[in-house]
Amino acid sequence: MPHALFPPSSSSTWLKCSYSARNAIPEVEKPLKTRQASAEGTRVHELHENAVTQMEFPDDDDPAAEAIATGMDFIRQLERGVLYVERTVHITSECWGRPDVVNLHPYITTVYDLKNGKWDVDAYHNTQMLTYGSGYLDQITSPWFRFVIYQPNGLDEVPFKQWVAHRSEVEAHKQRVIEAVNDRSNVPRPGPHCRWCRAFAMCPAMNDDAVFVMAALRRKPEELTEADLVRLLRLIRGLGDAKSTYEELLTVRLKLGRAAPDGSGLKPRKTFRAWNDPVQAIAYLQPRYGSKAVKPVSPAQAEKLGAEGKVYATVGMGVHKPPGDMQAFY
């Protein structure tokens, strides 16, 4: 099945700029580490689907076994309704997607999505989830929608993030989707959403960026306006996102013996000493130097050690969450 021109997964971008969807170019191949993480995510989703539809669970020694079991515990507690798993839902002829689980219920419909990555994904006003939910408005009369993000490997304190929205919120979102899909103005609208835009390299709003960057770098930072700073930082961030892909490609070519321009080449990465056996090192150092010789695991890692670690890692028990420093976002 071909990909949707307006996929729900990138709705946070094209809802603000439909140009990004209609002028998207094929993505540059991701770095190996990213491709491996993506393949593992696909595998975990397949295991999750088998568990929900066939009650087939992975072996206990599978690294995803606990995550699948925990997800199933949540799904079993949903209201008794019509359960769909990996079912394609169409919002318009150009916008469709496949939510992991949807439970249609007369009072509250649940849209559930498994995220295997660490990057924190919030359920509150999540446009991907709202887009999925809007595809079921014609099939149900539920006054409420429950949107659930299950992220077992996330850095947040809890793996389940939920947001309950009234039907009117979902209806309003569907109207925004229809307006974006029907927008034929072909006018780019730059903003923070440009970071993940697949039309970034050919966007008219970016045509004079090379000239702008060189001119901005020749000026003193304090002479730049707020608009200049935001534009410059967005461009630097966009280039930084692509840096690892190009570095990996150059490394592969040089390893194959391609000629390197002057001043470039291959060299080993900087490494540091490592314990032959970390457990043995702790056993040796701790009796001699006490707790200062042993670095505790993070609260997120402690939760995965067992029930007692999970309790102790709770805010107010063994940990606290300091307030974050204020910083600019762009």
Total-model pTM? 0.76
Strand intervals (E) in 115-252: 144-150, 160-166
222 has a pLDDT exceeding 90: yes
**C-alpha–C-alpha distance, residues 37 and 56, integer Å:** 23
Q: What is the pLDDT of residues 147-160, one digit of tens each?
A: 999 999 887 767 99
29 has a pLDDT exceeding 80: no
- The count of other CB atoms within 10 Å of the CB of residue 301 is 11
Domain boundary assignment for the chain: 8-181, 208-255
CA distances from 143 to 46, 167, 170, 178 (A): 31, 5, 10, 21
23 has a pLDDT exceeding 80: yes
Task: Tell how far CA 312 is from the center of its chain.
Answer: 28
Q: Look at residue 28 in the predicted model and tell me its pLDDT.
A: 65
Q: In what order do the strands lie in the sheet with 144-150?
A: 82-85, 101-104, 108-114, 144-150, 160-166
pLDDT band at 1 (very low <50, low <70, confident <90, very high): low
Q: Which stretches of 256-317 are DSSP H helices? A: 278-289, 299-303, 307-312
**C-alpha–C-alpha distance, residues 234 and 191, integer Å:** 9
Contacts of residue 116, Cβ cutoff 8 Å, sequence gap at least 6: 37, 40, 41, 44, 45, 151, 152, 153
Pairing of strands 160-166, 144-150: antiparallel
Q: What is the DSSP letter of 57?
A: -
Classified by CATH at the fold level, domain 8-181 comes out as: Lambda Exonuclease; Chain A (3.90.320)
Rounded to an integer, the average pLDDT of 165-192 is 95
Rounded to an integer, the average pLDDT of 59-73 is 94
User: CA quadruple 94, 95, 98, 103: dihedral positive or negative?
Assistant: negative
Contacts of residue 323, Cβ cutoff 8 Å, sequence gap at least 6: none
Task: Tell how far CA 198 is from the center of its chain.
Answer: 16
Provide the token pair at 248: 């990996």
φ, ψ of residue 109 in degrees (nearest 5) = -100, 135
Rounded to an integer, the average pLDDT of 159-173 is 97
CA-based nearest residue to 148, from 40, 73, 94:
73
Q: What is the pLDDT of residues 80-118, one digit of tens each?
A: 999 999 999 999 999 999 999 999 999 999 999 999 988
pLDDT band at 301 (very low <50, low <70, confident <90, very high): confident
* More confident site: 146 or 207: 146
**C-alpha–C-alpha distance, residues 59 and 65, integer Å:** 7
Q: What is the pLDDT of residues 70-89, one digit of tens each?
A: 999 999 999 999 999 999 99
Task: Tell how far CA 96 is from the center of its chain.
Answer: 19
Q: Look at residue 286 in the predicted model and tell me its pLDDT.
A: 92
pLDDT band at 316 (very low <50, low <70, confident <90, very high): confident
Q: Which of 28-32, 164-168, 267-271 has the lowest mean pLDDT?
A: 28-32
* More confident site: 156 or 15: 15
Average pLDDT over the chain, rounded to whole? 90
Q: Is 257 helix (H, G, I), strand (E, B) or coil?
A: coil
Q: CB burial class (10 A; 0-12, 13-18, 19+) of residue 192?
A: middle
Rounded to an integer, the average pLDDT of 17-42 is 85
Q: Are 52 and 221 in contact (CB under 8 A)?
A: no
Q: Look at residue 234 in the predicted model and tell me its pLDDT.
A: 86
